Amino acid sequence: GDQVEQSPSALSLHEGTSSALRCNFTTTTRSVQWFRQNSRGSLINLFYLASGTKENGRLKSAFDSKELYSTLHIRDAQLEDSGTYFCAAASNNNAGAKLTFGGGTRLTVRP
Amino acid sequence: DMKVTQMPRYLIKRMGENVLLECGQDMSHETMYWYRQDPGLGLQLIYISYDVDSNSEGDIPKGYRVSRKKREHFSLILDSAKTNQTSVYFCASSGQIYAEQFFGPGTRLTVL
The total number of structural domains that make up chain A? 1
Single-letter code of the amino acid located at A59 = L
pLDDT at B1: 66
**pLDDT, greater one: A4 or A96:** A4
- Candidates B15, B17, B21; CA nearest to B112 is B15
Domain region containing A39: 4-110
Among A67-71, A106-110, B92-96, the least confident range: B92-96
Beta bridge partners of A39: none
pLDDT at A1: 57
- Walking along chain B (112 residues) 10 residues at a time, the average pLDDT comes out as 90 97 94 92 90 92 97 96 97 86 96 96
- Residue A15 C-alpha, separation from nearest chain B C-alpha, in angstroms: 25
pLDDT at A2: 63
The helices-and-strands tally (H runs, E runs) of chain A is 0, 11
Mutate which of B34, B41, B43, B59 to test chain A, going by most A C-beta atoms within 10 A?
A: B43
**Using the beta-carbon criterion (under 8 Å), do A88 and B43 form an inter-chain contact?**
yes
Q: Is the pLDDT score of A10 beyond 90?
A: yes
- Residue A2 C-alpha, separation from nearest chain B C-alpha, in angstroms: 11
**Using the beta-carbon criterion (under 8 Å), do A90 and B98 form an inter-chain contact?**
yes
pLDDT digits (tens, 9 = 90+) for A27-55: 888 899 999 999 889 999 999 999 999 99
Domain regions of chain B by residue span:
4-111
Q: What is the CATH number of the domain that holds A95?
A: 2.60.40.10
Select the residue of B40, B98, B105 nearest A97 (Cβ to Cβ).
B98
**Using the beta-carbon criterion (under 8 Å), do B43 and A99 form an inter-chain contact?**
yes
Q: Is the pLDDT score of A94 beyond 60?
A: no
**Using the beta-carbon criterion (under 8 Å), do B100 and A86 form an inter-chain contact?**
no
* Closest-approach residue (CA) in chain B for A47: B100
DSSP string, chain B: ---EEEE-SEEEE-TT--EEEEEEESS--SEEEEEEE-TT--EEEEEEEEETTEEEE-S--TT-EEEEEETTEEEEEESS--GGG-EEEEEEEESSTTSPPEE---EEEEE-
Three-state DSSP at A81 gives helix
Q: Does B87 touch chain A (CB under 8 A)?
A: no
Q: Is B4-111 CATH 2.60.40.10?
A: yes
